[in-house]
């Protein structure tokens, strides 16, 4: 049953997501990430507005609460790289430095690093958000294709990767450690990168559908960034509220992790707005990929926690 939550000032909860280059960067089901965020908000009575930001559109950071940029082929990435740097760069940097949650997948991830060197043609200049760079060693080099599983915050993330470029991290912190698959470069077991609340990854549109805890983590970051100060104040005023509920009807729950990941590893503050959903199918799909990759103990742990 969908629940409708109000803020401490009796306002409906809304989030606005900026979808960068929805027509150019949309490979391998990357729209599935948008659909997942929309659905998980809808089931909680939270309105998620999705606004497309195409070529030539400026990015006004105060108009959005979270951002998403997907992956594309090299021929699509070249004009996007120029537009990202020249048109959207200042606004995107401002949003990132203000801790807005940003998810960048594959090509989008590469363009948030220093540069992407394609198999043919000149380097594509990135924004340099991540201290990292990507090199495609030619069409005869092995592509990184297939299911992937990584360790993340005491749990696992699973997904699908398909990239010819190999990304190398400088001082950037990786999103996680590769358990099976290729990751950034098939060499150092790193996958993705993190800067503040910006997350780069090679896992495509199966990422959020098969990882409900990561989807909720992004939504939690966005909600706490927008409403957190008022919620923290409310939580401080009513420390004895029972069962995590208060007079405003808000669900003050320490972690929306569906029993899979210890809350302390996910959430820095205690007050968030996400109630748990029935994610049985999502976690079974998650466990199925772990089984397929031969990660039997990790799959069994997921299923045990799900039953518990």
Q: How far apart are CA 5 and CA 220, in angstroms?
A: 14
Catalogue the active-site residues. Answer: 106, 204
Judge whether 133 and 111 are in contact, CB under 8 Å: no
Record the pTM: 0.86
Q: What is the pLDDT of residues 198-214, one digit of tens each?
A: 999 999 989 999 999 99
- Categorize the per-residue pLDDT at 233 as very low, low, confident or very high, splitting at 50, 70 and 90: low
Q: How far apart are CA 87 and CA 83, in angstroms?
A: 5
pLDDT at position 41 over 50: yes
**Structural domains present in the chain:** 14-213 (3.40.50.880)
Give alpha helix (H) positions in 151-295: 212-237, 263-266, 280-292
Q: How far apart are CA 56 and CA 131, in angstroms?
A: 26
Please give the residue that has the higher pLDDT: either 99 or 247: 99
pLDDT at position 82 over 90: yes
The β-bridge partners of 50 are: 17
What is residue 173's DSSP assignment? B
Q: How far apart are CA 130 and CA 109, in angstroms?
A: 9
> Residue 224 annotated as binding?
no
């Amino acid at each position: 049953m969908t629940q409708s939550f109000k803020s401490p000032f009796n306002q409906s909860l809304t989030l606005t997501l900026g979808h960068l280059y929805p027509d150019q960067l949309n490979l391998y089901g990357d729209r599935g990430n948008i659909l997942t965020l929309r659905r998980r908000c809808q089931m909680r009575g939270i309105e998620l507005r999705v606004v497309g930001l195409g070529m030539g559109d400026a990015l006004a950071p105060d108009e959005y609460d979270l951002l998403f940029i997907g992956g594309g082929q090299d021929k699509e990435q070249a004009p996007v790289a120029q537009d990202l740097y020249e048109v959207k760069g200042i606004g995107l940097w401002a949003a990132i430095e203000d801790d807005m949650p940003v998810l960048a997948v594959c090509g989008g991830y590469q363009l948030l690093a220093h540069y992407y060197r394609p198999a043919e043609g000149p380097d594509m200049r990135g924004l340099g958000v991540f201290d990292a760079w990507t090199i495609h060693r030619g069409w005869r080099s092995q592509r990184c294709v297939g299911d992937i599983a990584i360790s993340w915050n005491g749990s696992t993330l699973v997904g699908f990767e398909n990239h010819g470029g190999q990304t190398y991290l400088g001082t950037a912190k990786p999103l996680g450690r590769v358990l099976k698959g290729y990751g950034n470069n098939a060499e150092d077991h790193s996958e993705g990168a993190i800067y503040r609340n910006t997350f780069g990854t090679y896992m495509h549109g199966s990422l959020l559908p098969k990882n409900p805890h990561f989807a909720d983590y992004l939504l939690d970051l966005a909600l706490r960034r927008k409403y957190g100060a008022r919620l923290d104040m409310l939580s401080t005023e009513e420390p004895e509220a029972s069962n995590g509920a208060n007079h405003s009807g808000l669900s003050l729950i320490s972690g929306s992790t569906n029993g899979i990941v210890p809350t302390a590893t996910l959430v820095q503050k205690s007050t968030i707005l996400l109630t748990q959903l029935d994610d049985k199918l999502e976690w079974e799909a998650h466990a199925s990929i772990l089984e397929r990759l031969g990660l039997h103990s990790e799959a069994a742990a997921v299923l045990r926690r799900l039953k518990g």
